[in-house]
Amino acid sequence: MRQRWIAIVVLVALLGFAAKLVEVQLVDGPGLAENARMERETTTTVPAQRGDILDTNGVVLATSEVRYTVWVDQTLVATWDPAKDPDAPVVDGTGALAAARAMAPVLDVPAAELGAALNGTKRYKVVARDVLPATWRVLQGMGITGLGADPTQQRVYPSGTTAANLLGYVNSEQQGAGGLERQLDATLSGTPGSETYERGRGGQKIPDAGQTGTAAVPGSDVTTTVDQDIQYKAQTEADAAVSKTGASWVVVVVEDSRTGAVLALADSGTKDPNDPSVPADQRGSQAVQWTFEPGSTGKVITMANLLEHGVAKPTSKYTVGYTYAADNGEVFHDSHEHGTEKLTLAGILAESSNSGTVQAGSALSSQAQYDMMRKFGLGQATGLGLPGESSGLVREPAAMDGRSRYAVLFGQALTVNAVQVADVFSTVANGGVRPPAHLVQGTTGPDGVYHAQDPGRSTRVVSQKTASQLTRMLESVVDGEDGTGAKAAVPGYRVAGKTGTAEAAGANGSLSSIVASFVGFAPADDPRLTVGVFVKDPKSSIFGGETAAPVFSKVMGFSLDDLGVAPSGTKADPYKTTW
């Protein structure tokens, strides 16, 4: 009887086990399996490939390369035993100690330092960033349990400092933080994707385990108008000019006179964007961020106004003294003392006479001068769209005092940036039509299709006749007997341009700084390029004809040759400057 009861108890127990087994296998099984799968499953973000930035000839100025952020699950690293893995490197010990000894020489990090990062109970601990793909492959091949990596990107600027002031930089999240990188961030960024997969105990991805996800969409490539060779030359000459003149900084602008395309925008002392330690205030371009009085280069607008309204001709005669008293009693003088001179309007411009400019320009109303300055683009955004741009200040006639009303005639009592001044000369070179200044030529999407970008609308400022007369007058500055810009000459090419010396705000906000400049275009008989050179606080000479003109000559000569522009076919025929 007793044996029978034992048999019954055993049978009941077996039936219970069988029932539980059926419950686990058939009833709860799918749910338990799903829970286990969910515990193994992880979702990561797949970064989108950031678009490249190219120069006008397709040279890569900025690109992104794959890097890895290496991390560990410290609880799993503790279980690693290299002696049990035939593919593991030969190292002493187990766990974090062994892993640190294996990884240290590959990452070039002291084993003790690495060991501290590997040891602990954190399930996710970053141990290295910006790891090269080849380095990650070596680490991955060690078979260390709990070792993983997430793909990231690192922005690389192959040309170093060349055009860095325009390109800007990205932050640690690979988002544009300055320059074109910031301005065009939405175009360059693309759309991140995602990947969902199952991980094994060691943190490794389980092959063929039903991976799902959404593919990342790469950003678009951006083709700029910048010519890398011309940009490099402009930066080199800007740096050389700082050394030669003792200036605080030098800016060089190179534009296509016909289209407004910026071929170079160079700042001396440009920092390498590959160096993340460079402070944000040392990036960017003074060409658009810093404003100053244009000085004598602003006389071009006054001359254009006089010619356009028929108030004067290039050969109109004036008796010009060292000083000139305006109708309201304000007295203006030239940069150096001289006796009474008999100058034509062309001569006033060639000799850069302040008193002569005020004498001739007094025939213009304040409103007429204000309207012409606005038509030339002063006091307005350049259209380049670079972060931190300052539009300068042009006061309306009602806001001008008795002196400012005349001072604007020779480029004082207003502020501009370097690109705005270059645009004035491009307008004259382009037959009186102001071309839209622009830096972006077009974009190429992930589908490989190129889309040209609309640069903007051209605007008629003065007539073709006025532009032609003014061009010939500007040739007198370089080619005339008493011109102030002789050092801007480019052998084989006719050059039209203007020297300038102007005041600018110093560190204390007062007008205690000097900007010496030369801005012009060539060939004057068939203009192709406009170049502006701006030298802040030169120690060797304050005159643009001495400090800025030689830089203009070098940059313009190189650029014309680089673009294959034929030399001038005729000789200059400047107007008479005296009578």
Reply yes or no on whether 64 is catalytic.
no
Look at residue 24 in the predicted model and tell me its pLDDT: 52
Amino acid at 71: W
Which residue spans of the chain are classified as CATH 3.90.1310.10?
A: 44-195+210-224
Evaluate if pTM is beyond 0.95.
Answer: no
Cα(348)–Cα(477) distance, rounded to whole angstroms?
10
Whether the per-residue pLDDT at 574 is higher than 60: the answer is yes
Parts of the chain belonging to CATH 3.40.710.10: 228-269+285-440+457-562
CB 504 within 8 A of CB 293: yes
User: Percentage of the chain with pLDDT > 90?
Assistant: 77
pLDDT digits (tens, 9 = 90+) for 24-57: 555 555 655 555 555 556 777 778 899 999 999 9
Distance (Å, whole) CA 140 – CA 70: 10
Calpha distance 122→111 (Å, rounded): 19
The pLDDT tens digits for 125-154 are 999 999 999 999 999 999 999 999 988 889
Superfamily for 44-195+210-224? Penicillin-binding protein 2a (Domain 2) (3.90.1310.10)
Average pLDDT of the segment spanning 472-494 = 91
Phi, psi (rounded to 5 degrees) for 421:
-65, -45
Provide the mean pLDDT of the chain.
Answer: 90
Neighbours of 3 (CB within 10 A): 7
CATH domain 228-269+285-440+457-562 topology: Beta-lactamase (3.40.710)
* Options 296, 353, 553, 559, the catalytic residue: 296
467-482: per-residue pLDDT in tens?
999 999 999 999 877 7
pLDDT per residue over 304-345, tens digit each? 999 999 999 999 999 999 999 999 999 999 988 999 999 999
DSSP state at residue 26:
I
pLDDT digits 0-9 by tens, 379-405: 999 999 998 999 999 999 999 999 999
Question: What are the tens digits of pLDDT across the range 93-121?
Answer: 999 999 999 999 999 999 999 999 999 99
How many residues belong to the chain? 579
155: helix, strand or coil: strand
Token output for 230: 């011309």
